[in-house]
Every structure is written in C-alpha cells, then in structure tokens.
Amino acid sequence: MPEPAITLVFDTDCPHVDAARASLARVLTDLGLPRRWDERAPAGAYGSPTLLVDGRDVTGDAPGAACCRVYRDADGRASPVPDDAVIAAAIRGAMRVVTRGS
C-alpha cells in the first residue's frame, strides 16, 4: 500500500517542533509505517507547527496566519500539537484514498 506524503511545516524558532516530531513518530510506529517525513521551514502561510498529509492539514484547516498553532486535544484543551488520533486519522484517510485511486 503506498504511503501518503507527510510534511512537517514549522518556523525554525518554534518551541513545539520537537513535540510534533515525537507525535508523528509515535503515530507512524503505531500504524506500522516507516518513521519518515519531509520537513519544511519556514512555515510561510501555515502556523507552526503544521502537519500536512498529502498536502492537507491533518485538522482539515486551510492555511492561516503565520503564527504559533493552537490545537484542541480530545478533551477540548489547548495543545501545541495535534492529537495523535487526529494525525492517525489523516494518515489512514490518505492511505484509503491512495488505495482506491490506484
């Protein structure tokens, strides 16, 4: 099954990049996928950090202001990175699209 293209977009001074990398690595391991992705800095029109799967934000948000991102976890609390379940759902969804389109 083809792997989706995953990109971590961030500003070089973002204090949450390591947490985003850790979440992404954990999710990929849990899904049985190789722990690899592209990284791009600066974030440009995206807030930092942003995770893109096949070019789409894992939360479904459109590019917004170039600033720190604030996500909501499963309990609705503010978080500097997307919830692992949100990342996993985006990757699984992209894999289904790739498989159907193949």
Encode pLDDT of 4-35 as tens digits.
999 999 999 999 999 999 999 999 999 999 99
Q: Is the dihedral of CA 8, 13, 15, 18 positive or negative?
A: positive
Residue 76 lies in domain: 6-101
- Answer whether residue 29 is part of any domain: yes
Instruction: Give the sign of the dihedral formed by CA 69, CA 44, CA 41, CA 96.
Output: positive
Residue 1 lies in a domain: no
The pLDDT value given to residue 18: 97
Indicate whether 96 belongs to any domain: yes
pLDDT for the residue 58 = 95
Three-state DSSP class for 21? helix
- Per-residue model confidence (pLDDT) at position 44: 85
Greater model confidence, 98 or 18: 18
Residue 43 domain flag: yes
pLDDT at residue 50 above 70? yes
Q: What is the pTM of this model?
A: 0.86
Q: How many domains does the chain have?
A: 1
